[in-house]
Structure formats: structure tokens, C-alpha cells
Structure 1
Amino acid sequence: MQDQQHNIIYANGYMNTFENKSLDAENLSIEFSREAFLQLTEGSNDTMKRFADRLMAGGPVVMGIQSLPANATIQRVIQDIIQCNFTGHLKKLFLLSKSIELLVLQADAWHQAFQFRERQQYKRDDVERIHYAREYLINNIEMPPSLSELSRIVGINEFKLKKKFKEEFNTTVFGYLADYRLGMARSFLEEGNKSVGDIAYELGYSSPQHFSAVFRKKFGVAPSELKK
């Protein structure tokens, strides 16, 4: 935990060691009993529910390995607690209300943080699926799947597949496949080891004539001319 950060921790008896990197340091801890915490957080957001479930399982629980920065609202409530001028029963009520307010702010901050991390993870997952789709197309270039088949194979719906593929590779799914095929065809022709017909069928074209027409449109020359 670094300066100006907060966390929520449960432990049934524990020892902590703090190493300060400056001569002056302040730490504010507010403790709820297990029963009071569960009662206060019952029916709150999913993040607090998961925390409570882990708490009920019996082990020590930390809301997050990396603590969150304390925003201005959280810091204001902390200052209200530190600078409390009430005495007696009013002080107890004030500190209880502020402690609950602080818990609410923490619960909301952690919930937002986990939602953001989940969205980022979904994005990374989507990118991995898109790259897998590209690899699958290349590995099955002779008989490529349909768009619906490819979406099922990589586990992403057609709309997202088309959208994310275009974002990642700046072309459509089959636009990429067409360009990749023609690039391979040109390499084969320049190597000179295969006939035009062999290349056409190996790369999944319906006929050498179709291959020649597509190749000429792309490169401005017929495959037979390039082979020479």
C-alpha cells in the first residue's frame, strides 16, 4: 500500500509490518466486526458480495492485491473523521455514519475498478480470438470456413468478428484472406517451382482461369507472365 491508497481487508487475528519510506506517515484503519460488516454490506454490489462470500469461507481476504488511490471524496470523508469536533454520543454517531459512508465509497470505487479490469480483459480476449481467426483462415486456406462457421470456431458472434477483425487488420475477414492468398501465389510464381494450375488449386481457387483473373486485377499482370 502506497501513499493515499485504500483497501478492504478481513482477517481473524493478524500481524502487519509497515515499512515507511519517509520519517512521517499516517494510517487510518476502521474496524467492523465480522457480523456488522456482513449486515452492512448485505444486498450491496456484486464486488462486495464476492468479498463477503470469501469472508464467509473463513480465510483472510484482501479486496485487491494492488490498493486503489483514494479519490478526493474519500479523502474528504477521512478528514471529517480525523477532525471530528463532536463529543460523547454524538461523536459515536458521527464516526459511525462517516465510517459507513467511507465503506460505501470504497465499495463503489472497487466495483468500478473491477468492472474496468473486466472490460480490459474482454478486449484482450477479443483480440486473441481475432488473431486466432486469422490463423485459422491461413491454416485452412484451401477450404476456408464461412463467416458463421469461423465465428463459432473462435467463440465470438459474427457482428463482433467482422467489426473487431476490421479494427485489428484494417480489412474484412475475406479481404484479408484474398490478399494473403494472392501474396502466397506471387511468392510461388516467383520461386518458379509450381505451375499456375497447381497454385490455383492449392490456394483454393475454383479454377486456374478464376485465379488468373483475380491475380491480374490485383497485380496488373497475368500469373503466366510473372512466372516467365
Structure 2
Amino acid sequence: MVARVSSARLRIMLGHGNDHGSSLNQLLRGGYGQIEIANSALVRRVAEDIARTPYRGAAFNLYVQSKVIELLVNEVSISEEGDDQRIAYAVRDMLLADPVSPPSMAEISRMMGVPPRKLNAQFRAIFGMTAFEWLVDWRLIRARDLVMDGGVTIKDIAFSLGYSHVPTFSAAFTRRFGVAPSRFKAMRAQEQLS
């Protein structure tokens, strides 16, 4: 996916302030030829969002601009953060690279060269929960989005997100959102008919 935004257009998007952080200021001065977004999971999600949007015409253009801004905000915020934050975001990206069968914390720890306890502490400091609590929450939010889209069965959603048993998925979904996925889907269908 390639998104091109001129420094002049970015200046318009950001307003007239001068202090946007060192990375953005350098970008605004034309100091970067291009920015490559390293977060492949985020890029994949943004591409999926753009492909699935119902917007057309001017609304579609505005939606795409908002997604480009989302990518820029993520990249600039990561480049200006400390090592703990960079490590936490790197762990998140590793989990999202294969959310169905992610690497274990021991594997991630070896890859990052950081002890597992420290890795979880850094992750918790940034995201407010352990890495695998966050992944379970991400899966359930993704499941909710898929249920809302309505095009996939509950069983397929459960299996696509790494749940081996539909009742286990349904129980986790109910704990997270207060309603079973089948009921959530029915309520969503009813809303669309109204």
C-alpha cells in the first residue's frame, strides 16, 4: 500500500502550529523522502478498512485521508517514544503478525533480547495489561467487528481467531461484551432493518 501526502498538504491537515514534534517537523520541512510504516499489522488493518468501507466519492476521499493520518500518527508517535514503548509496540506487532498462533512470550523474549518478566512489565506499562491479555481482547474486538459485518458465521469467526471450540469463544465474547455473539448478531441485524 502506498499513500502519498505532500508536506504542504500535511501542513494544512495539522494546522498552523509549529511544534509538532521533531519527526513531524522534519517531515514538514521535506526532510524525509518517504516514510515506510514498519507496523505491517496496522497497515494490513488499514488496507482492510479501506477495502470494506461503504463510503464513496468525497466521503471516501476523506475516509482515506483519515486512515493515512492514522498511519502517520502511529509512526511518528513510535519514533518519538522511549525504548520501553518501542519494545511494547514491537511485541504487539509480533502478536498481530499471527494472532491465531502467536509466538510464546519465551520466543518473543529471545527475539527481543529482554527477559519475559521485563517484557510483560513494559507491555503492561503501555497497554495496561499483559501481552496475551491484550491479544485476547484484540481478538474479541475483531470478532465483534466481524459479527457486526454479518457476512461470516459465528463458528467461522471463532475458528478464524484461534478458538478451537465455539462455546469457549461464545463465553469469552459474552464476558467481554455482555451479550452472546449470536444475540449480538441478531441485535445488529434488527438495527439495520430499522
| Secondary structure of the structure 1 residue equivalent to 2:99 | coil
Residue 193 (structure 1) shift: 1.1
Structure 1 moving runs of 4+ over 3 Å: none
CA contact (8 A) 2:87 2:122 kept: no
* Structure 2 equivalent of residue 158 of structure 1: 116
Structure 1 segment 90-109 matched on structure 2, within 5 A: none
Unpaired segments of 5 or more residues in structure 2? 1-80, 187-194
Output one character per residue of 1:55-114: Cα deviation in whole Å (capped at 9) or x when no partner: xxxxxxxxxxxxxxxxxxxxxxxxxxxxxxxxxxxxxxxxxxxxxxxxxxxxxxxxxxxx
Residue 219 (structure 1) shift: 1.1
Match of 1:167 among 125, 130, 134: 125
Residue 125 (structure 1) shift: 2.9
Output one character per residue of 1:187-214: Cα deviation in whole Å (capped at 9) or x when no partner: 0000001111111111111211110011
Residue type of the alignment partner of 1:212: S
1:187 is the counterpart of 2:145: yes
What is the percentage of aligned positions where both structures have the same residue?
Answer: 40
Determine which structure has greater relative contact order: mean sequence separation of CA pairs < 8 Å that are 6+ residues apart, divided by chain length. Answer: 1
Residue type of the alignment partner of 1:158: P
* Structure 2 equivalent of residue 208 of structure 1: 166
Residue type of the alignment partner of 1:215: F
CA contact (8 A) 1:200 1:211 kept: yes
* Structure 2 equivalent of residue 132 of structure 1: 90
Question: TM-score w.r.t. structure 2 length?
Answer: 0.52
Tell me which structure has the larger Cα radius of gyration: 1
Residue 151 (structure 1) shift: 1.3
What's the Cα RMSD here?
Answer: 1.4
- Measure the CA separation in 1 of the matches of 2:164 and 2:119: 26
Unpaired segments of 5 or more residues in structure 1? 1-122
Higher helix share: 2
How many pairs align? 106
Question: TM-score w.r.t. structure 1 length?
Answer: 0.44
